[in-house]
Amino acid sequence: MDLFHKKRTICIRGALCDLSEPRVMGILNFTPDSFYDGGRYRDKESILSHVGKMVDDGVHFIDVGAVSTRPGAATVTEIEEMRRLSEVLGVIRDKFPDVILSVDTWRSGVAYMVVREFGVDMINDISSGDMDKRMHEAIAELQVPYIAMHMQGTPATMQKDPRYGDVVNEIIGYFAVKLTKLRSLGVKDIIIDPGFGFGKTQEHNYILAGRLEEFGILDLPILVGFSRKSMIYKNLGVPPDKALAGTISLNAAALMKGADILRVHDVREAMDTIKVIKKLREFS
């Protein structure tokens, strides 16, 4: 199978977005406590500077999060999440009206708000509807692409002794159930994310990465989010800000195994990785 020429499209703003070649999703965390970039982007100038750099570096989508989902993160109310997102999305839409925006939220109320008020283009749900049973119905009504991620437990419990029989087969089965429901509701554009670091041990994460091609059985775009996570920096014995090389290594491996979207903090390096892997595949 030629992983760079799969027929992959999602509908954004009434037009087809081609995923036949891998795409890059840049991360913008508007939170004080995210594991890597918490607190960096808290004012208009820093937000616009960061978004502008990602756009200049060639980013395809920008994923905005207003609630940290790292283990032990403080709880944020829905009202506060909406307030934070309103502030940052308004700034981005004023300056970059054409950028394709995703919002990282598990709340259906937030999904309705960001799509209807700010024209957000897709929703990235870490719980695939498990934390808000109304989310799937919301996506069906809003008709925006939906990133369904696997997580065992919740952010508060996910790293407390996660266990699986066969981690790959169990997560594929999990997605199969979710896809049946989503499709029955009329949701057409679905992207799956195995959820690296969410309810998985280091071993689970590397098994998933090593067998990523098996998710191709679901015949859907695959998003991977390795960027500077503990599966990299703990393995290397470095802090997150020294984990770029490890991130690039895993992104390259994922591309060779069928990843369609790289969710990253470092856009230029991800774009370069795609270019190099694309060239390599021309001769293999």
Please list the active-site residues: 229, 263
Q: What one-character DSSP code corresponds to residue 122?
A: E
With H, G, I as helix, E, B as strand and everything else as coil, classify residue 97.
Answer: coil
- The answer to whether residues 171 and 150 touch, using CB atoms and an 8 Å cutoff, is yes
Phi-psi region of 120 (alpha: psi -120 to 50; beta: other; left: phi over 0): beta
The DSSP annotation for 209-246 comes to: HHTGGGGGGG-S-BEE--TT-HHHHHHHTS-GGG-HHH
**CB within 8 A of 42, min separation 6: which ones?**
30, 32
Which letter, b or e, does each residue of 87-111 get, where b requires 16 or more Cβ atoms within 10 Å of its Cβ?
A: ebbebbbeebeebbbbbbbbbbbbb
